[in-house]
A and B are shown apart, each in its own frame.
Chain A
């Protein structure tokens, strides 16, 4: 058994930021991550990070309102205020730590436009901002000497008398299972994209943290809010940054029409993501698509500009769709991208379980509500990662380790043995594919009662099938086969929470758009939906949205 003050699960931006702040506050910190930190999915954030810097004439309140409107008024306004107020300091401190960022003519940080915002307030490093920031934080972690359990996989949270006191984890390299006690555990495990197929998310985004918390009794919130990104590449579903449209790209239909002009006359291609994705889907459904896609046209930006600011997505389009965006438009479609929902946490990352924190995509502090604005996710990870780390480092001063011993690992050991002894039956790949395509079909850009009922049936089925996955690899060393089977269990829990929440919401709001109930209903549904695990099923409850200064109004772009 190993002891730490603060144990952080996940080494993306939220996890590393939490680790750094907890370390600076003097706590004994360790990070556990199933992939090396620089392999984390924060890498994939391309476009940038939002912040309203006052010395540039911007106001955090404007950023807050854009975020609230983007959330379709489901975001909690107190939390959004915190995020937007602290955004400037966060961006500057990343720059001071070493992030390069593109500059303006005076050598100060430059900005680009992003969707759903009235100001250009997105700071960026070409079109690999996430990777650039992740590497800087990793450099700082190396410098600070924070301990990282690289390639360890967390199997469960240990909860005693309603308090979280540590985790059970497995060394992927050796198969060794270890109980780690911690006075505070911070979940920073990212999203759940693999619950859907296709998804822009990495193969590691399997909703581990949401499921770990769900199984431990925490509440998941806003799970029905699943973001479909408007520009994912035809075929592979690879993400093409919103920065393309931020820099001026057009969306065209089969009639060569800039169709966003008719749907969003003011913001056009830069309306919020849920809106643009719906418009694309409508164009495609009404027969004005091109082979199930619409076209992203950047040709007018010119080769030099594209290669300086959008070099990565140019390469991606060439590598994955054989299209050079300098010369021809790129076929794109809406693709599952982000979970607005997650483990319910407050502005310091605290969850309903004492000792358990959550930050980043795994968490739902509800700063994104029904729809996240582009370039607000990096901000979310940094602000709430830092706040969680600071709060946890303070909290642990007044608590003792819970009395836990190595027997805490027994359930996980039994579960692994049971998986390993499954007869040749279901394969991980097939069950995940069935779940993913089903979830995408039933809980896509548009949904209705019928499709959501189907989703619930699907979830029941895959939950059952996931228990009898055949694990061909019986070895201890890097048994990825076993890991995937455990991850599949995590994913099916997330799928259940998503489907169960979605069917509750009897209106259309943000990313949750029902063709059978197309209107937003503020009278009855200015509410979060919370789901908790109960035996083999779940409980649903509701929570009012926190409104500070901004009353809901009709949302137009």
Chain B
């Protein structure tokens, strides 16, 4: 079958330094992958097209890129699954949130810096075991779900926080941090968690789910970040706006059954955080004008009692 690709090109040695799109038409089969298509273009049509790829089996993590606007591995994306039904071409662009070097090749240095920032190695206690460390199989199987991360950067590419905040460690590095903090052999927990509690750490995720959606290996980075939040708070790091926000959220729900949106930001930021309080004023005015201001007197829902029971049950299980 005939397949049309629209590929974003960028030549850093050109004079205008502007990216543009180039169209290619190739003959592919039903079982071909996007990577097969790009390799065919590269080998038969246009040798100047540059991309990283290697294993062709979704294990090396080289070929993460945006396919029709969403990050994925070119090697395990079948053409028939992404070919637009309206006859328009498959759009191929480099991974997002990382600087483009050439065509589909991006600079991974920011990715690796963040990876290194979480001290991604096992930090066991002082006593070395005779042979292996003993560890429960369930723990290892659980960790395998994170260890299977191939560091392809698809999650980083489409992370909506990184789009606006370079400082965020990002889903891949945080998933890696989770992998160690959850390892029964690792004893650096408190120091690791304290670091993850800093700005740019676990609290900067907005839970948009994008990383979970695009991860080609089912690592679920966002879920790992949420588990890290719990660990951070369990370790007693409760004095960040993130932790206070989570605590206030839970408190309102438990007591009244629904959120007190008027007081939530006050409790999250702290009433003496003058700068943040002033920063909230425009939002308050806008919501007043739009008729969306939360009620000043927060009343309980009629079903609040049952909700409280659920809370107590969950808490007693912890």
Chain A residues with CB under 8 Å of chain B are 35-36, 38-41, 43-44, 53, 55, 92, 95-98, 100-110, 125-126, 128, 131-132, 135-136, 139-140, 142-143, 173, 202-204, 235-236, 238-239, 308, 311-312, 315-316, 319-322, 427-430, 470-473, 475-481
Q: Which residues of chain A have C-beta atoms less than 8 A from B47's C-beta? A: 427-428, 470-473, 481
Q: A96 contacts which of B132, B140, B144, B150 (Cβ < 8 Å)? A: B132
Interface residues of B in 113-140 (CB under 8 A from A): 116, 119-122, 124, 128-129, 131-137, 140
CB nearest to A135 among chain B residues: B147
Q: Which residues of chain A have C-beta atoms less than 8 A from B132's C-beta? A: 92, 95-96, 101, 108-109
Q: B50 contacts which of A55, A430, A480 (Cβ < 8 Å)? A: A480
Does A427 contact B44, Cβ atoms closer than 8 Å?
A: yes
8 A-B residue pairs with Cβ-Cβ distance under 8 Å, sorted by A, are A43-B60, A98-B183, A108-B134, A125-B147, A239-B57, A312-B59, A315-B58, A473-B48
CB nearest to B12 among chain A residues: A477
Chain B nearest CB, measured from A133 CB (Å): 10
Interface residues of B in 147-166 (CB under 8 A from A): 147-148, 150-151
Query: A204 vs B128: C-alpha distance in the bound complex, in angstroms?
Result: 38
Does A202 contact B151, Cβ atoms closer than 8 Å?
A: no
Q: Most chain-B Cβ atoms within 10 A of its Cβ — which of A109, A203, A311?
A: A203
Q: B147 contacts which of A36, A53, A132, A480 (Cβ < 8 Å)? A: A132
Query: A470 vs B43: C-alpha distance in the bound complex, in angstroms?
Result: 11
Known: A55-B131, A96-B133, A308-B141. A126 touches B56 (CB 8 A): no
Q: B57 contacts which of A238, A427, A472, A479 (Cβ < 8 Å)? A: A238
Does B134 contact A106, Cβ atoms closer than 8 Å?
A: yes
Chain A nearest CB, measured from B8 CB (Å): 15
Query: A132 vs B116: C-alpha distance in the bound complex, in angstroms?
Result: 17
Q: Mark B182-218, 1 if CB is under 8 A from A, else 0.
A: 0101000000000000000000000000000000000
Known: A125-B144, A142-B120. A203 touches B137 (CB 8 A): no
Q: Which residues of chain B have C-beta atoms less than 8 A from A102's C-beta? A: 137, 140-141, 144
Q: A43-B60, A107-B134 are in contact. List 17 more A-B contacts (CB 8 A).
A: A35-B52, A36-B108, A40-B60, A44-B60, A55-B131, A98-B183, A102-B140, A102-B141, A103-B136, A103-B140, A104-B137, A107-B137, A131-B148, A135-B151, A203-B56, A319-B76, A481-B48
Does B131 contact A43, Cβ atoms closer than 8 Å?
A: no
Query: A39 vs B73: C-alpha distance in the bound complex, in angstroms?
Result: 13
Q: B56 contacts which of A173, A236, A315 (Cβ < 8 Å)? A: A236
Q: Which residues of chain B have C-beta atoms less than 8 A from A53's C-beta? A: 131
Does A478 contact B62, Cβ atoms closer than 8 Å?
A: no
Top 3 A-B residue pairs of the complex, sorted by shortest distance between their CB atoms: A429-B43, A98-B122, A472-B47
Q: Which residues of chain A have C-beta atoms less than 8 A from B183's C-beta? A: 98, 100
Q: Which residues of chain B have C-beta atoms less than 8 A from A311's C-beta? A: 148
Does B133 contact A95, Cβ atoms closer than 8 Å?
A: yes
Does B13 contact A202, Cβ atoms closer than 8 Å?
A: no
Does B55 sit at the interface, judged by CB under 8 A?
A: yes
Known: A97-B122, A107-B137, A235-B31. A38 touches B59 (CB 8 A): no
CB nearest to A101 among chain B residues: B140
Q: B128 contacts which of A96, A108, A312 (Cβ < 8 Å)? A: A96
Query: A315 vs B73: C-alpha distance in the bound complex, in angstroms?
Result: 14
Chain A nearest CB, measured from B95 CB (Å): 14
Query: A43 vs B217: C-alpha distance in the bound complex, in angstroms?
Result: 14
Does A43 contact B121, Cβ atoms closer than 8 Å?
A: no
Does A173 contact B57, Cβ atoms closer than 8 Å?
A: no
CB nearest to B128 among chain A residues: A96
CB nearest to B120 among chain A residues: A139
Does B121 contact A139, Cβ atoms closer than 8 Å?
A: yes
Does A44 contact B59, Cβ atoms closer than 8 Å?
A: yes
Query: A104 vs B144: C-alpha distance in the bound complex, in angstroms?
Result: 15
Does B82 sit at the interface, judged by CB under 8 A?
A: no
Does A477 contact B134, Cβ atoms closer than 8 Å?
A: no
Does B251 sit at the interface, judged by CB under 8 A?
A: no
Does B312 sit at the interface, judged by CB under 8 A?
A: no
Does B60 contact A202, Cβ atoms closer than 8 Å?
A: yes
Query: A442 vs B31: C-alpha distance in the bound complex, in angstroms?
Result: 27
Does A202 contact B131, Cβ atoms closer than 8 Å?
A: no
Q: Mark B85-102, 1 if CB is under 8 A from A, else 0.
A: 000000000000000011
Does A202 contact B135, Cβ atoms closer than 8 Å?
A: no
Q: Which residues of chain B have C-beta atoms less than 8 A from A35's C-beta? A: 52, 54, 60, 62
Q: Which residues of chain B have C-beta atoms less than 8 A from A125's C-beta? A: 144, 147
Chain A nearest CB, measured from B259 CB (Å): 38
Does A128 contact B59, Cβ atoms closer than 8 Å?
A: yes
Does A312 contact B148, Cβ atoms closer than 8 Å?
A: yes
Q: Which residues of chain B have C-beta atoms less than 8 A from A320's C-beta? A: 31, 33, 57, 76
Query: A312 vs B103: C-alpha distance in the bound complex, in angstroms?
Result: 30
Query: A95 vs B105: C-alpha distance in the bound complex, in angstroms?
Result: 34
Does B11 sit at the interface, judged by CB under 8 A?
A: yes
Q: Most chain-B Cβ atoms within 10 A of its Cβ — which of A204, A476, A477?
A: A477
Does B267 sit at the interface, judged by CB under 8 A?
A: no
Does B61 contact A44, Cβ atoms closer than 8 Å?
A: no
Interface residues of B in 265-316 (CB under 8 A from A): none
Does B261 sit at the interface, judged by CB under 8 A?
A: no
Interface residues of B in 223-252 (CB under 8 A from A): none
Q: Which residues of chain B have C-beta atoms less than 8 A from A475's C-beta? A: 11, 13, 48, 102
Does B105 contact A478, Cβ atoms closer than 8 Å?
A: yes
